[in-house]
Amino acid sequence: MQHIEQYFKSLTESRTPHNLYEPIEYILNQGGKRIRPQLVQLGTTVFGGDLSAAINPAAAFEMLHNFTLIHDDIMDNSSMRRGQETVFKKWNTNIAILSGDALANMAMLELLKTPVSHDVLIELIELLGQTSLEICEGQQLDLDFETNTHVTINQYIGMIRKKTAVLLAGCLKAGALISDASPANLENIYQYGINLGITFQLKDDLFDVYANEQMFGKQLGGDIRSNKKTYLYLLALEKANDNQKEELIRWFSSSDQDDTLKFNAVKTIFDQLNILQHTEAVIEQYISKATECVNNLTVEADKKELLIHFANELAKRNK
Amino acid sequence: MQHIEQYFKSLTESRTPHNLYEPIEYILNQGGKRIRPQLVQLGTTVFGGDLSAAINPAAAFEMLHNFTLIHDDIMDNSSMRRGQETVFKKWNTNIAILSGDALANMAMLELLKTPVSHDVLIELIELLGQTSLEICEGQQLDLDFETNTHVTINQYIGMIRKKTAVLLAGCLKAGALISDASPANLENIYQYGINLGITFQLKDDLFDVYANEQMFGKQLGGDIRSNKKTYLYLLALEKANDNQKEELIRWFSSSDQDDTLKFNAVKTIFDQLNILQHTEAVIEQYISKATECVNNLTVEADKKELLIHFANELAKRNK
């Protein structure tokens, strides 16, 4: 998406104070996969909308995403992202809080530029505001789970739905909104996005243990090292016998074990319980649900094909 | 403003996760002066708008204000506000970042409920977004000034304009917008609010040194103790002779002096330079400018009287 890269380059030019806008320029021009702008475009294409009008919501949702990254990195004390220092590490916490706040507002102001009727604009704004609020709820649930020893699989899915899936769904719906999609189509494309988003996160959880390390491009086992309660861990707890359960809980209740020893021990239990196969089966279910949503759309077959292709590519991705 | 207190009580009821919404409920129900809701009402009254429609923008702008307080308190490491612990002290920094983010979104969603045409709604949303962005810029300038040894009075006024005045002006303009005020009236009420807001902050700066401590209700000299470059300090630097300047800079470059000794020494210099009288004269100028804006409005005389009365009360306030 060449367009958006150029768009972001000029967005913060000559704005002051520099300490507020430099971090924003920095994070917006780091690249990343740009999945959210792609999804706005995809939603627009599927419903035959004006792709040139999609640039504003595409930029706005990508800005919203980057605002959440700036603040999440403070909360998670993450020092690196996309191979570069995070904003709060490169500058400081105060600047990261404030430039995140500013970026969230810029996203809203960007969305207001979308060349659509005021009625559609109001719906876009409500979508962005509601999406952003749900992402906050999802991040809070994620923080809560760190100290909660009784997280269920359903609660976990509810958390990633809010933390990850609503944003992908919101992007698709934004594209559909600017293309005057019907209420039923809006609902189906949104649910397609939710199922896609959950798939996306479950794949991420899988990669931490089962990726091809060379293709993945980073070290495996980060979630296990930081005792993160991923889908794999919660599923394993559910399927484990008493001994395996005790062992898992022991590994996940301390941080000062040998990393390789811990990773191998946990992976051994996961393997014994067929966690890879079970998770892949669950991913298939979410892909099926996504496909069902696509089938319910009243659009041309080739447009449906685009959405199904996108979902399958996501299911097959290896990094 | 009884209405808004009741309104806030039910706003976060039954929302989850609790760790996200409890801090929001806590800060919204702490009271405070509610100047911003009052200004939305005032703007509505002056232009003969529907006061029952003002509740949503009144709540939204008060929520925006409280979002900035939650985040500012983290940045300024402030432990008390309105006689109670700040959110980040009572909970923690992560929860304060996230509940502030959520509250900012809730403000936008609250504004969307305003029962006005979509055209007016878009203008309200742009006003809220633009105001919020400028407040971020003002807060960043304030942080920058802490380490900048060459802040001019003009730069200081520019900072408080963004950090404090645009929000008061925005509240008045929101009330005017929902009352279908003309473009010229919108501009004049906004500029009235800017001048009011600058007055408001200059009074705050004065109180730190010259308030009646009993009426003020808190200890004087907080700004001096924390080496804050207030209007008084910058004005004193400008008017000081070489000796006084050197002494001022010495007192403001360290934090481990005796507080009473420091306060008395700085106040002595301020007194020698007639800083109280000069600042009061400048406040009078801003009140005059505010009055001029009121005179330019095309509304009934009794409505103008309301605005002039409000400005004079603000100029006379002693806490």
The ipTM value here is: 0.96
pLDDT, tens digit (0-9, with 9 covering 90-100), for B7-61? 898 888 889 999 999 999 999 999 888 999 999 999 999 999 999 999 999 999 9
pLDDT, tens digit (0-9, with 9 covering 90-100), for B126-162? 999 999 999 999 999 999 999 998 999 999 999 999 9
Backbone conformation region of residue B180, classed left if phi is above 0, alpha if psi is from -120 to 50, else beta: left
Could you tell me if residue A165 is inside a domain? Answer: no
Do B261 and B166 lie in one domain? The reply is no
Distance from the B68 Cα atom to the nearest Cα atom in chain A, whole angstroms = 9
Choose one of B181, B198, B214: the last residue of a domain: B181
Do B141 and B278 lie in one domain? The reply is no
Q: Does A121 touch chain B (CB under 8 A)?
A: yes
Q: What is the pLDDT of residue A319?
A: 67
pLDDT, average across residues A272-284: 97
Cβ–Cβ of A136/B112 closer than 8 Å? no
Stronger pLDDT, B11 or A298, i.e. the higher one: A298
Choose one of A103, A125, A149: the last residue of a domain: A149
Do B150 and B252 lie in one domain? The reply is no
Distance from the B60 Cα atom to the nearest Cα atom in chain A, whole angstroms = 13
Question: What sign results for the dihedral spanned by CA atoms B299, B301, B302, B305?
Answer: positive
Domains in chain A: how many in total?
2
Could you tell me if residue A50 is inside a domain? Answer: yes
Helix residue ranges per DSSP H, chain A = 2-11, 18-28, 35-46, 55-75, 87-90, 93-111, 118-147, 153-160, 166-177, 183-210, 213-216, 222-225, 231-239, 242-251, 259-272, 275-295, 301-316
List of chain B residues whose C-beta atoms are within 8 Å of the C-beta of residue A112? 122, 125-126, 129
Cβ–Cβ of A97/B130 closer than 8 Å? no
List of chain A residues whose C-beta atoms are within 8 Å of the C-beta of residue B132? 101, 105
Could you tell me if residue A67 is inside a domain? Answer: yes
Do A315 and A221 lie in one domain? The reply is yes
In chain B, the residue whose alpha carbon lies closest to the alpha carbon of A135 is: B102
Distance from the B190 Cα atom to the nearest Cα atom in chain A, whole angstroms = 20
pLDDT, average across residues B284-305: 97
Cβ within 8 Å of A, B 53-72: 71
Whether pLDDT at A196 is above 70: yes
Do B28 and B170 lie in one domain? The reply is yes
Q: Does A16 touch chain B (CB under 8 A)?
A: yes
CATH number for the domain spanning B53: value is: 1.10.600.10
Could you tell me if residue A284 is inside a domain? Answer: yes
pLDDT, tens digit (0-9, with 9 covering 90-100), for A56-72? 999 999 999 999 999 99
Q: What is the pLDDT of residue A23?
A: 97
Q: What is the pLDDT of residue B283?
A: 96
Could you tell me if residue A161 is inside a domain? Answer: no
Which domain does A42 fall in, by range? Answer: 1-149
Q: What is the pLDDT of residue B2?
A: 59
In chain B, the residue whose alpha carbon lies closest to the alpha carbon of A95 is: B140
Q: Which residue in the set B19, B101, B144 is minimally distant from A71, CB to CB?
A: B101
Whether pLDDT at B101 is above 70: yes
Could you tell me if residue A169 is inside a domain? Answer: no
Neighbour count for residue A240 (Cβ, 10 Å): 18
Could you tell me if residue A158 is inside a domain? Answer: no
Do B159 and B121 lie in one domain? The reply is yes
Do B128 and B41 lie in one domain? The reply is yes
pLDDT, tens digit (0-9, with 9 covering 90-100), for B74-89? 999 999 988 899 999 9
pLDDT, tens digit (0-9, with 9 covering 90-100), for A79-121? 998 889 999 999 999 999 999 999 999 999 999 999 999 999 9
Q: Counting beta carbons within 10 angstroms of the beta carbon of residue A212, is it exposed (0 to 12), middle (13 to 18) or buried (19 or more)?
A: exposed
pLDDT, average across residues A245-261: 90
Do A142 and A196 lie in one domain? The reply is no
Q: What is the pLDDT of residue B1?
A: 57
Q: What is the pLDDT of residue B315?
A: 82
Choose one of B121, B147, B181: the last residue of a domain: B181
Cβ–Cβ of A140/B112 closer than 8 Å? no
Do A1 and A145 lie in one domain? The reply is yes
Q: Does A151 touch chain B (CB under 8 A)?
A: no
Could you tell me if residue A173 is inside a domain? Answer: no
| Mutation for testing the A interface, residue in B108, B127, B156 having most A CBs under 10 Å | B108
Do B148 and B195 lie in one domain? The reply is no
Whether pLDDT at B319 is above 70: no
Do B188 and B52 lie in one domain? The reply is no
Do B165 and B205 lie in one domain? The reply is no
